[in-house]
Amino acid sequence: MKQILTGIYKNHRTEWYDIEAIPTGLKWHLKGRFGKFINSFQPGKVAEGDFAQKVLLRSRRDDTRVEAVSLQFRTHRSLCISSQVGCAFQCAFCATGRVGLKRQLDADEISDQVLYFLQKGQKVDGISFMGMGEPLANPRLFDALRVLTAPELYGISARRLNVSTVGVIPGILKLTEEFPQVNLAFSLHSPFSEERNQLVPLNRMYSFQQIFEVLDNRIKRTGRRVWICYLLLQGVNDTVEHARALVHLLKQRPVETRYLYHVNLLPYNVGRAVPDHFIRAEQTVIEPFQQVLQQNSISCSYRNSFGHGIDAACGQLFAEYEDVSATKKAPLVRPTSKVLSATPLREREAQPSPALTG
């Protein structure tokens, strides 16, 4: 068994026949049970540019598609991987939300996106769950985190993993309980409730005021920084008044945890099928906004985006699906997912999916 695990997770073999340390009969058995290839995805179109590489991955099981991105920074390489096929939450500015939710990814499918880039010989320094889908709305995310951090499997440090959420409170609580060292980013995008309702509809269920109370407790318990993601949209949420309201919101945090909040100001990336009234904020607007934060001792930075030119930046992943906003929407069907087997041979018997968290 150890030889199989080593062949998959340490040597990054692509086919069962590539694992030298196991007998031929076992290779035949594995091929018959799982197919010729180890990875659950078949790679498709690859696009490169802006220090990013985006790959379209097709499920060998049902031909559904997701996209994953490899980002080459000056000092390291980070992956942006998907947790769902599409997304149910339909944030106003996000192309993935226009796809709708098709199904959950299982734990193998989530981690196999990482395996794909490792099989291509890339050295992976960090992994962000910021691709297609809301990570904390997929219960299988936690199985995937266990696979990625297990020493006998991928062996990636929890501190090199980043989970992004629009505010699924039960998922945040579970992440804090089970993976306190995994980094968390909360997508806020507006300090005004009614406006955030329009940008992030989940705010009607879990208000950002409730979410910040949960984040305060997470910081107090873990001592770990929380990133507040704020997408700057020209003429929408980029005014000095917004900046001052954001300062007020963060100044309300308990003094013992306040300093561990960091605001990431993000450029807007025009996405496919997204309303064209959303525009990237200009530098003349960004600088005054950031100055308000800095003058009030709010830790912040402006993060430039990679992969914008190949539709690989935040909010642009679409995986070549049709624009559901241009067609009649089918009723939302609860997706199916696959439960990670306790055996190391990557069993994949289908199980009914738990209800979406939130």
Gap between the Cα atoms of 202 and 200, Å rounded: 6
Tell me the one-letter amino acid at 242: H
The question of whether 314 is a catalytic residue gets the answer yes
Of these residues, 80, 314, 322, 347, which one is catalytic? Answer: 314
Q: Collect contacts of 324-328 with beta carbons under 8 A, ≥24 apart.
A: 324/98, 324/99, 324/100, 325/98, 325/273, 326/273
Which pTM does this prediction carry?
0.85
pLDDT of residue 38: 96
Minimum mean pLDDT range among 6-20, 126-140, 265-279: 265-279
Q: SS3 for 93?
A: coil
* Residue 320's pLDDT band (cuts 50, 70, 90): low
Residue 195 predicted with pLDDT over 50: yes
pLDDT at 47 over 70: yes
Do residues 59 and 75 touch, judged by C-beta distance below 8 A?
A: no
pLDDT of the residue at 1: 85
163 neighbors 131 (Cβ within 8 angstroms) = no
Task: Provide the pLDDT confidence category of residue 313 given band limits of 50, 70 and 90.
Answer: very low
Whether 290 shows a pLDDT value over 90: the answer reads yes
Topology of domain 40-325 in CATH is TIM Barrel (3.20.20)
More confident residue, 220 or 346: 220
Asked if 67 is an active-site residue, the reply is yes
Is it the case that residue 117 has pLDDT exceeding 70?
yes
How high does pLDDT run on average in the chain?
Answer: 86
Asked whether the predicted pLDDT for residue 323 surpasses 70, the reply is: no
Q: How many CA atoms lie within 13 A of 170 on its CB side?
A: 8
Q: Work out the number of other CB atoms within 10 angstroms of the CB of residue 358.
A: 18
Tens-place pLDDT, residues 229-251? 999 999 999 999 999 999 999 99
Give me the residue spans of the domains in the chain: 1-38, 40-325
Catalytic option among 20, 67, 241, 256: 67
- At 297, the pLDDT band (50, 70, 90 cuts) reads very high
Tell me the three state secondary structure of residue 47. strand
Please report which confidence band the pLDDT of residue 338 belongs to, taking 50, 70 and 90 as the band edges.
Answer: very low
Would you say residue 325 has pLDDT above 90?
Answer: no
The pLDDT assigned to 319 comes to 55
For residue 274, what pLDDT band results from cuts at 50, 70 and 90? low
pLDDT at 121 > cutoff 90: yes
Tell me, what's the pLDDT at 147?
Answer: 97
The neighbour count for residue 202, using CB atoms within 10 Å, is 24
Predicted confidence at residue 343, as pLDDT, reads 36
Say which range, 85-94, 152-161, 290-299, has the weakest mean pLDDT: 85-94
β strands within the chain, DSSP E = 41-49, 52-59, 65-72, 77-80, 84-86, 101-104, 126-129, 161-165, 183-187, 226-232, 261-267, 300-302, 337-338, 350-351
Q: Report the Cα 110 to chain-centroid distance in Å.
A: 10
Output the pLDDT for position 272: 62
Q: How confident is the model at residue 331 (pLDDT cuts 50, 70, 90)?
A: very low
Which pLDDT belongs to residue 288? 97
Number of H helices and E strands in the chain, helices first, is: 11, 14
What's the pLDDT score for residue 322?
63
Which region among 16-20, 192-196, 293-297 has the lowest average model confidence (pLDDT)? 16-20
Over range 313-328, report the average pLDDT: 53
pLDDT range class, residue 24, cuts 50, 70, 90: very high
Summarised one tens digit per residue, pLDDT across range 142-169 is 999 999 999 999 999 999 999 999 999 9
Q: Which residues contact 319 (CB under 8 A, 6 or more apart)?
A: 56, 65, 66, 67, 85, 99, 132
Mean pLDDT, residues 95-109: 91
The per-residue pLDDT for 238 is 96
Residues sharing a CB contact under 8 Å with residue 285, sequence separation 6 or more, in sequence order: 232, 234, 238, 239
What is the pLDDT averaged over residues 122-126?
Answer: 95
pLDDT at 36 over 60: yes
Give 211's contacts (C-beta < 8 A, 6+ positions apart): 167, 169, 172, 186
